[in-house]
Amino acid sequence: MKDVLKQLARDLKAEKLRTFLTIFGIVWGTVAISLMLAFGTGLHTQLIKSTAGLGDRIVIAWPGLTSIPFEGLGKGRKIRITDDDLTTARGNVPGLKALSAEYSNNLKVEYGTKTLSVDTSGVAPEFGSMRNLIPQAGGRFIDDIDLAEQRRTAFIGNKLAKDIFGETPAVGKTITVNQSPFLVVGVLVEKDQDSSYSGRDNEKMFIPSTTFRALNGDKYVDNFVFQAAASTDTKAVIEKLRSALGGRLRFDAKDKEALSMWDTTEQFQFFDTFMLAFNAFLGIIGVLTLVVGGIGVSNIMNVVVEERTREIGIKMALGAKQRWILSQFLFETMLVTFLGGAIGFAISLTVCAIFPKLGLAEYVGNPVVSPLVAALTSLALGLVGLVAGYFPARDAARLDPVVAMKL
């Protein structure tokens, strides 16, 4: 075993250029594949994160002006929706999992010497889970009792919390909102978000919708957010909700302007399809890279066999068994493959470590060399190396020593 390795080191040293070329080929293949997949994973994670920042397969709806005459009523009429309308409509639409009204305004927040104008939403408890507004440890979102009793409680964005309280804990503190004291019950965990419909959640404040209405005298919702029990039913739920509200508020269910909706599940579907296509693309490129690399390695090994045919003949004449010749070639290929793979991974990891510093993460995410990708790539390369090494090695060991020595 030690002799085999010693011989190996000697042969590799004697064939510097060839060894370099082979290792370079494998390094290139490994870097290409693991970086491609790493960036793919990073992009996927980023897409999920930014979409999840918006919400968990939700639909956001805004009342607007009618654009189609309905039952003798002209167009251009303003549609106004109340909590009652929503509660009634909800009862008529099966398959609806959650629904929350949203009232919005800029409110004056005071704490100590600080005064800020804060984008505030009055919402129901369900809003929190629909919009992925997850509280940091020790806090909570608005709950049913807050809503029922019109409590003056507030859930605030993490950036807002920092602006007001600095590094000291926010939960349990009392802030003044439009001259009324509010208890901070929760702070948002940091989340990636670059799609939104009304400002970033980390700078916002959420209070119970009942409290909001009492504070501001609002009667009509600014918008509302809902979620189907099964995301595949979203289209049907939208239609039912439109006709339920249309019947009650007297607008045409087909009137997209009277009640405009943003179905974020469409975006999910797009991402899912996009990622599927993207992964297929990466997969094909990866397989081709491996195949081309494998052919290269295999060819180089074949050239070696020809160069060394005489040497193999001599060794066999001196009593080397086929197994010896075979294992030397296999070892050589595997060592070269392993070396190339290891260097390739090191390069990929370095790139992934440096990449976040370039500040492009917001657009394409941070590449991650996942353990699965790592395992698969090394497995594939090992296999390529094995196949590439096996056939030339077998050919070499099958040579007739007399013939081989004459070459």
Residues lying near other proteins in the complex (CB under 8 A) are found at 3, 10-11, 14, 310-311, 314-324, 400-402, 405
Q: Could you give the CA distance from residue 207 to residue 162 in angstroms, rounded to a whole number?
A: 18
Q: How far is the CB of 341 from other proteins (least distance, A)?
A: 27
Q: How far is the CB of 45 from other proteins (least distance, A)?
A: 51
Give whichever of 11 and 233 is closer to other proteins, judged by the CB atom. 11
Helix (H, G, I), strand (E, B), or coil: what is residue 380? Answer: helix
Give whichever of 10 and 80 is closer to other proteins, judged by the CB atom. 10
For residue 89, what are the contacts with CB-CB under 8 A and spacing of at least 6?
241, 244, 245, 248
Give whichever of 216 and 322 is closer to other proteins, judged by the CB atom. 322
**Given the structure tokens 């009232």, which residue do they identify?**
103
Give whichever of 62 and 331 is closer to other proteins, judged by the CB atom. 331
Rounded to 5°, the CA angle 22-28-29 comes to 95
Give whichever of 10 and 254 is closer to other proteins, judged by the CB atom. 10
For residue 248, what are the contacts with CB-CB under 8 A and spacing of at least 6?
85, 88, 89
Give whichever of 11 and 218 is closer to other proteins, judged by the CB atom. 11
For residue 37, what are the contacts with CB-CB under 8 A and spacing of at least 6?
282, 286, 369, 370, 373, 377
Q: How far is the CB of 13 from other proteins (least distance, A)?
A: 8
Q: How far is the CB of 4 from other proteins (least distance, A)?
A: 10
Give whichever of 215 and 404 is closer to other proteins, judged by the CB atom. 404
Q: How far is the CB of 315 from other proteins (least distance, A)?
A: 7
Q: How far is the CB of 318 from other proteins (least distance, A)?
A: 5
Beta-strand pair 174-177/153-156:
unpaired
Helix (H, G, I), strand (E, B), or coil: what is residue 356? Answer: helix
Give whichever of 295 and 317 is closer to other proteins, judged by the CB atom. 317
Q: How far is the CB of 390 from other proteins (least distance, A)?
A: 18
Name the phi and psi angles at 88, rounded to 5: -65, -45
Local structure of residue 116 (DSSP, 8 states): E
Give whichever of 194 and 400 is closer to other proteins, judged by the CB atom. 400
- Whether the CB-CB separation of 79 and 249 falls below 8 Å is answered with yes
Q: Could you give the CA distance from residue 95 to residue 348 in angstroms, rounded to a whole number?
A: 47
Q: Could you give the CA distance from residue 169 to residue 177 in angstroms, rounded to a whole number?
A: 19
Give whichever of 285 and 405 is closer to other proteins, judged by the CB atom. 405
Q: DSSP E strands: which ranges in 157-251?
A: 174-177, 180-187, 205-208, 223-228
Q: DSSP E strands: which ranges in 73-123?
A: 96-111, 114-123
34 conformational bin, left if phi > 0, alpha if psi -120 to 50, beta if neither: alpha
Nearest to 58, CA basis, from 128, 149, 143, 137 = 128
Q: How far is the CB of 392 from other proteins (least distance, A)?
A: 18
Q: How far is the CB of 25 from other proteins (least distance, A)?
A: 23
Q: How far is the CB of 12 from other proteins (least distance, A)?
A: 11
